[in-house]
Amino acid sequence: MGDLEQLQQLLGSQAAALSFQAALFSLIAAFLLGQAIAAVYVWTYRGMSYTRSYVQAIALGSIVACMIMLATSTNIAAGIGVAGSLSALRLRIALRDPKDMIFVFAGMAVGIACGLHAFTTALAGTAMFCFAIGSLTMVEFGQRQVFEGLLRFYAPPTAATEAAIGKILDRYAGRFALTTMREVRQGTAMEYAYHLKTRRAGDRVPMVRELEAIEGVDGVTLHYQDAAQEL
């Protein structure tokens, strides 16, 4: 009987009630650190389809994780119940980049640390995470070829036209690679798609204008990753 009573006390009792000020401080700290991680995500994002709601989810996820930890850290029974409920929950998010998942985990980890009042760990972890992501982005770690835009146009399939196009790309593009070439207009033209990186930002407009000036070239479009809009 003694052991049973001790178990009931362990599962049913709570530690000293957390004050409103302490809980609010933990939630604010989680939100601010979550915002820092979200800001680093925006700065380091290099994809073509930027989603604002995902950035907000990183910051809000830290608050949710902190709230869960504050509510369950003083009650083992409640913690077991929340864990069981979350195990049945399936969050279906289409993540194009595996790094996006890491940012979600980072936001949740910050919230958990703040919920456990491990503010030193939360602050140090956020600083180290942001430093690591920023460093890897600036040195372009793991990137073999860096392309900043996609160039598409239609041109007649002649040697003279291809030579003229090649000269323009050599002059304005620091690096480029032909990714797609397909026959269009019943064989009278070819559609070309190049990944490229211009030598200077000011070279973009002259390059497009010179391509359009080539006889038979039309439909020139240049899409840039650094100008991606929310889709």
Rounded distance between C-alpha atoms, residue 14 and residue 23, angstroms: 16
pLDDT score of 155: 92
DSSP label of 50: B
> Does pLDDT of 11 surpass 60?
no
The confidence score (pLDDT) of residue 5 equals 54
pLDDT for 32: 92
Tokens of 22: 């302490």
Whether the predicted model's global pTM rises above the 0.85 cut? no
> What is the per-residue pLDDT across 179-195, written as a single tens digit (0 to 9) for each?
888 888 887 888 999 98
3-state DSSP percent of the chain in helix, strand and coil, to 5? 60, 15, 25
Domain layout of the chain by residue ranges: 20-88+95-138, 149-224
Looking at per-residue pLDDT, the higher value among 77 and 109 belongs to 109
Measure Cα distances from 225 to 49, 99, 150, 157, 222 in Å. Answer: 9, 17, 8, 28, 10
What are the backbone dihedrals phi and psi of residue 139, each rounded to the nearest 5 degrees, phi first? -85, 0
Between helix 159-172 and helix 204-213 the angle, nearest 10°, is: 170
Q: How high is the mean pLDDT of the chain?
A: 78
What is the CATH number assigned to the segment(s) 149-224? 3.30.70.260
